Amino acid sequence: MLAKKLLSTIALAVGVMPMSQAVADYPDRLIRMVIPFTAGGPADIVGREFAALLGKELGQTVVVVNQGGGHGVPALNQVLGQPADGYTLLMPASGNVTVPSKVMEDKKVLELLAPISLLTQSPHVLVVSAKLPVRTTQELVDYARANPGKVNFGSAGVGGVAHLGMEMFKNQAKVDVVHVPYRGTSQVVTDLASGQVQALFSSMPSLKPMIDKGTVTALAMSAPSSGSDTKNLPQISETLPGVEYTTWYGLFAKAGTPSEIIEKLNQATVKVLRDPAINQKFDSQGVEFVSSTPSELADIVRRDTAKWTKLIQEANIQLD
């Protein structure tokens, strides 16, 4: 009996029992989910829908915090600046955590972040301003060749997968196009519709309203798509072999977050992504919700990092 009391006293002194109780009670307050993009873009659209459903599943509010720009580093720093307790999460796009960058060269993502689950995977759609006189990928290539340096590709930021998609397109088509980075997708889509930029690679959710209005023209997909609004679009690789990729969103916590909390978040995410409502809502836009185990997401990060690193080195792409 005396030994048990002594152990309890020691545990309380070093904070073991309060932490165990905090883990058991998780979550008992609001959770923040940081998205490395401005409001209105595809990550924000998907993230807010997911956050609302995750909050219902956990019994606590999950609020979205938009922190665009800086290749996702400002958003990452928001998460790293908080305790590793599961109350500040990160929902990056694949490029934020798999594309090498000078600002991240001394840091390894999987040493900073604890993977929770994959959320979505989808190809990008190649779109152009309706003001541009092209309706196919080949016509865009021909137009760019006839107007070197006069076709601007927008993107949500330097080093993102949309930027690298443009670099793949540029190198394979042997064209001189200009990259115009923004801090998020919403403004570049607005400028695309007005003709200030001429082309863009992005996910369908933020583009569909403009496509439906006819101010933006969808040319092709960066990979096969099953969405009702995207499955009939041709693949870019049919015109430019080798230009093929997908993008994804994932959910991460700060490294050091207790494994019990990671597991609770993973289980809740799996349940949310099985909900027919969220799948039906985004099916037409080519967004596929796919969960994973934490270790599977870690493997995806390693795989894509190797792929994009190879592309950047072979194409001599300068990201910073």
Interhelix angle 259-273/42-58, nearest 10 degrees: 110
Q: Is 130 in the same domain as 234?
A: yes
Q: DSSP letters of 224-285?
A: ----TTTTTSPBGGGTSTT---EEEEEEEEETT--HHHHHHHHHHHHHHHT-HHHHHHHHTT
The whole-number pLDDT of residue 206 equals: 77
Q: Is 147 in the same domain as 232?
A: yes
Q: Is 116 in the same domain as 158?
A: no
Q: Is 98 in the same domain as 149?
A: no
Residue 10 lies in a domain: no
Residue 150 lies in a domain: yes
Domain end among 211, 238, 265: 238
pLDDT tens digits for 200-231? 999 887 788 899 999 999 999 999 887 777 88
Q: Which two tokens stand for residue 173?
A: 């088509």
Residue 18 lies in a domain: no
Asked if 122 contacts 203 with a C-beta cutoff of 8 angstroms, the reply is yes
Q: Is 261 in the same domain as 222?
A: no
The whole-number pLDDT of residue 4 equals: 44
| Over residues 308-316, mean pLDDT | 85
Domain count, the chain: 2
The whole-number pLDDT of residue 5 equals: 46
Domain end among 217, 238, 259: 238
- 198: domain CATH number is 3.40.190.10
- 54: domain CATH number is 3.40.190.150
Residue 55 confidence (pLDDT) above 70: yes
Higher pLDDT, 156 or 265: 265
Residue 183 lies in a domain: yes
Q: Which two tokens stand for residue 108?
A: 């390894």
Residue 318 confidence (pLDDT) above 80: no
pLDDT tens digits for 144-164? 999 999 999 999 877 788 899
Q: Is 219 in the same domain as 73?
A: no
Nearest to 156 by CA among 196, 186, 129, 122: 186
The whole-number pLDDT of residue 183 equals: 77
Kindly report the pTM of this predicted structure.
Answer: 0.79
Residue 24 lies in a domain: no
Q: Is 88 in the same domain as 153?
A: no
Q: Is 146 in the same domain as 285?
A: no
Q: Is 73 in the same domain as 106?
A: yes
Residue 9 confidence (pLDDT) above 60: no
Residue 8 lies in a domain: no
Asked if 274 contacts 172 with a C-beta cutoff of 8 angstroms, the reply is no
Which segment, 287-291, 294-298, 306-310, is predicted with the most confidence on average? 294-298
Residue 5 lies in a domain: no
Q: Is 135 in the same domain as 223?
A: yes
Spatial neighbors of 94 by CB under 8 A, at least 6 apart, are 161, 247, 248, 249, 250, 304
The whole-number pLDDT of residue 311 equals: 85
Reported confidence tier of residue 302, pLDDT bands at 50, 70, 90: very high
Higher pLDDT, 115 or 276: 115
Q: Is 43 in the same domain as 86?
A: yes
Q: DSSP letters of 147-185?
A: STT--EEEESSTTSHHHHHHHHHHHHHT---EEEE-SSH
CA angle in degrees (0–180, nearest 5) for 7-10-16 = 100
Mean pLDDT (the chain) is: 88
| Over residues 234-250, mean pLDDT | 94
Pairing of strands 113-123, 288-289: antiparallel
Residue 16 lies in a domain: no
The percent of residues above 90 in pLDDT, for the chain, comes to 62
Domain end among 183, 211, 238: 238
Q: Which domain holds residue 116?
A: 30-122+246-315
pLDDT tens digits for 89-144? 999 999 889 987 644 555 688 999 999 999 999 899 999 999 999 999 999 999 99
